A and B are shown apart, each in its own frame.
Chain A
Amino acid sequence: MAIHLQNVSFAYPQAPQKKVLDIPHWSVAPGEQVFVHGPSGGGKSTLLNLLSGILQTDHGEVSVLGERLDQMSNRRRDRFRANHIGCVFQQFNLIPYLDAIDNIRLAAHFAASKQAAVEHQTDELLSALGIAPPERHKPTAQLSIGQQQRVAIARALINKPQLLIADEPSSSLDQENRDSFMALLMSLVKEHQITLLFVSHDLALSQHFRRIEALSDINTAGRMH
């Protein structure tokens, strides 16, 4: 299983009584593309942070790509995330004062990837994502939002992750850009056989996916019994 959650519950240390997540069972098969929709404040980011290993819970089993994240040390989780998981968010995907190439290199740095291979792949990914060479050396803050999101995908894919977590990655784009962005994302994911977990409130985007889930079906926290 690419993702496997068993009896996972989570509450922030500031409010230990208030469970944000309570997931009896949920899993995603390798290579699957899943669309999860739900309102904001429904524990979306918490779930994604648990899956990427930024947050950790001591209740339940969190397995990603066959590894128990809940049993790993902090250091190993950080390294695991760098090597195996790519993340793209709605905004703040890039260090604004670094250019596209440095942003991608930085991601490769934490995965300790070979430099020569990284350079070649950076070129390839940026070309595939339609970032022209002159744009690659500008601080990313000077790129358009659409370009920034595409660089963000390149940054997320540089370490050849098996799992890509996308949190409203297209929500700041206009309709036209959104469609081309989604098409590009889906083709890249299929080409590299990456498991995709795509979270959005925008149900219109679900047309790109075969498996569609509501967060409220997965997460039983806050539900009236």
Chain B
Amino acid sequence: MFMRLACKSLLNRRGSVVLTVLALTVSIVVLLGVEHVRQQARDSFGNTVSGVDLIVGARTGSLNLLLYSVFHMGSPTNNISWKSYQHIASGKHVAWAVPIALGDSYQGYRVMGTTPDYFTHFSYGGKRKLQFASGKAFSGVLDVVLGSEVARKLSHKLGDQVVLAHGIANTSFSLHDDKPFKVVGILAPTGTPVDQTVHVSLQGIEAIHIDWQRGVKVPGSTVSAEQLAKMDLQPKSITAFMLSLNSKMATFRLQREINNYSREPLTAILPGVALSELWQMMATFEHTLRLISACILVSALLGLSAMLLASIREREHEIQLLRVIGAPPMFLFLLIELEALLISFAAIALGTSLLYAVLVLAKDLLASEFGLHISTNIGSESNAYLALLMILSTIIAAAIPSLKAYKNARLK
């Protein structure tokens, strides 16, 4: 009867109730959404690289190096010489080393020059290795391996020809159209920037720039594929390289040695440390977002409280009648609280469904535009806590009108 009374009473005031539910729904979508995206971004970033002890690039900030070498964001400051790479990679503590060369793109996706070792050594998300969905690693100079998203979005399959573009702009006018590449492998999805990367061999990168000078094509000079095969395409410089060491104990020593490398100014970073620096930078931003979403929730709850308080006034006769038929003042207190909770539950249900729908719709956009892989599973522990917090705050916010009803009942 109690529940029935509360439900019918809310239905009776559906106009203001619906608006209050909507206000709370918006605040829940924002609150849960911010929290969810924040966590997912963290997980997604944290999963991007694993098993790599050091990343080495030209002298730059550690964040910058991390961003361009692993996340393919921003641009490298400078290249490093192949000699330095060989020297460091042959060190006795080094288990494996994988060079990377960046700077070109294909339809807006970054092209990364590397060695076939990359596919065997690189791992992500807790030591998961890269898998081929089809095909194999590149072996020829003009072979290319596509990340899963590149292949899916541009609907490429094995054997397709692709023409790389010079530079990293989404629409580049200087194309390496004299040397088309052939797709020999497509990687399985990883949920990391690997999915959006076009992988070629270092020799491939060297080959497409062979008749280029200072960033532009020299007109009239073209080299055929037959000629390429005979040429020495050993690169003179690369963008960065990843190191894995035999002994973790050597990491810091090697890092210091690289940072003090006398022949060339280099920077070595520990990916984990650089990531946590990134989080520290983001922390202020995250706190601000959280604060804003908390403020939205508070204002929505105050709205709920105001709506109920106004309803107490218009329900004075109802309260009086309930008293006459024997309702104790506590009943009225609980009735108003129950109404508030029903509104809150409705808003939580509506808000989570809405958030889910938004995530499903925005998933692809976030992945392609921001490289952010968001899971649509919002049933996390911390979100459950948020919902609980929301229910508790509802009870507190509704205490004001509930006490008012209680007092009205007591004093008649």
- Which listed residue, B4, B324, B326, touches A83 by the CB 8 Å rule? B326
Within 8 A of B (CB), among A93-136: 93-98, 102, 105-107, 109-111
B residues within 8 A CB of A97? 8-9, 11-12
A168 at interface, CB cutoff 8 A:
no
Task: Give the interface SS of chain B, mostly helix, strand, loop or mixed.
Answer: helix
Dominant secondary structure at the A interface:
helix
Chain A: minimal CB distance from B11 (Å): 7
Number of A-B contacts (CB under 8 A): 63
User: A78 on the interface (CB 8 Å rule)?
Assistant: yes
Residues of B239-293 whose CB lies within 8 A of A: none
Pick from A48-56, A142-150, A170-178, A192-200 the stretch touching chain B. A48-56
Which of B15-23, B106-114, B301-309, B315-323 has 4 or more CB atoms under 8 Å from chain A?
Answer: B315-323
Contact A79 to B326, CB < 8 A, known contacts A55-B412, A92-B321, A95-B321: yes
**Given A55-B412, A92-B320, residue A75 in contact with residue B8 (CB < 8 A):** no
A-B CB contact pairs (8 Å), 11 listed: A78-B326, A79-B328, A82-B325, A89-B324, A92-B317, A95-B5, A95-B321, A97-B11, A106-B5, A110-B326, A155-B325
Contact, CB under 8 Å: A109 / B1: yes
Chain B neighbourhood of A75, CB < 8 A: 328
B384 at the binding interface (Cβ < 8 Å) = no
Q: Is A189 an interface residue (CB 8 A)?
A: no
- Chain A nearest CB, measured from B169 CB (Å): 64
Closest 9 CB pairs of A and B: A82-B326, A110-B326, A97-B12, A92-B317, A109-B1, A107-B325, A78-B328, A87-B324, A81-B326
B-side contacts of A83, CB under 8 Å: 326
B1-39 residues with Cβ-Cβ distance < 8 A to A are 1-2, 4-5, 8-9, 11-12
Q: Name the A residues within 8 Å of B331 (CB-CB).
A: 110
Distance in angstroms between the alpha carbons of A94 and B9 in the assembled complex:
13
Whether A98 contacts B326 in the complex (CB less than 8 A), given A49-B412, A93-B321, comes out as no
What's the nearest-Cβ distance from chain A to residue B318, in Å?
Answer: 6
Flag whether A27 is at the interface (Cβ < 8 A).
Answer: no
Tell me, in angstroms, the Cα distance from A1 to B290 when the chains sit together: 67
Given contacts A97-B12, A98-B8, 13 further A-B contacts (CB under 8 A): A54-B323, A55-B412, A74-B328, A79-B326, A81-B325, A93-B321, A95-B9, A97-B8, A102-B8, A105-B1, A107-B325, A107-B326, A110-B326
Contact indicator A95/B328 (Cβ below 8 Å): no
Distance, CA A102 to CA B322, complexed state (A): 13
Min CB distance B109 to A, Å, is 61
B327 contacts A by Cβ under 8 Å: yes
In the complex, the answer to whether A111 meets B326 with C-beta atoms within 8 Å is yes
Across the interface, which residues of B come within 8 angstroms of A109, CB to CB?
Answer: 1-2
Residues of A within 8 A of B328 (CB): 74-75, 78-79
Which A143-192 residues sit within 8 Å CB-CB of chain B?
155
Smallest distance from the beta carbon of A71 to chain B beta carbons, Å?
18
B401 CB to nearest chain A CB (Å): 18
B1 — which chain A residues lie within 8 A by C-beta?
102, 105-106, 109
Q: Write the nearest CB–CB distance from B59 to chain A, whole angstroms.
A: 75
- When distances are taken between beta carbons in the complex, the residues of chain A under 8 Å from B5 are 95, 98, 102, 106
Question: How far is B223's CA from A104's CA once the two chains are assembled, in angstroms?
Answer: 96
Given contacts A54-B412, A95-B318, A105-B1, is CB(A81)–CB(B9) below 8 Å?
no
B323 to chain A, nearest CB (A): 6
A105 vs B5: C-alpha distance when bound (angstroms)? 11
Chain B residues within 8 Å of A105, by CB: 1
Residues in chain B near residue A98, CB distance under 8 A: 5, 8
Q: Give CA–CA (A82, B323) in the complex, Å.
A: 9
Contact of A78 among B2, B8, B320, B327 (CB under 8 A): B327
Q: Which residue of A lies closest to B324 (CB)?
A: A87
Contacts of B9 in A (CB 8 A): 95, 97
Quick one: CB contact mask for B310-346 with A, threshold 8 Å, 1 for yes?
Answer: 0000000110111111111101000000000000000
CA of A155 to CA of B2, assembled, Å: 17
A80 to nearest B CB, angstroms? 8
Residue of B nearest to A80 (CB): B326
- Within the complex, the shortest CB–CB distance from A44 to chain B, in Å, comes to 15
**Interface contact B321-A110, CB-CB below 8 Å:** no
Shortest B316–chain A CB gap in Å is 9
Contacts of A93 in B (CB 8 A): 321
Q: How far is it, in angstroms, between the C-alpha of A222 and the C-alpha of B261 when the chains are bound?
A: 105
Shortest beta-carbon distance from B16 to chain A in Å = 14
A141: nearest residue on chain B (CB-CB)? B12
Specify which of B4, B317, B323, B324 is in contact with A102 (CB 8 Å cutoff): B4
Cα–Cα distance between A92 and B320 once the two chains are bound (Å)? 9
Residues in chain B near residue A89, CB distance under 8 A: 324
- Give the complex CA separation of A49 and B412 in angstroms: 10
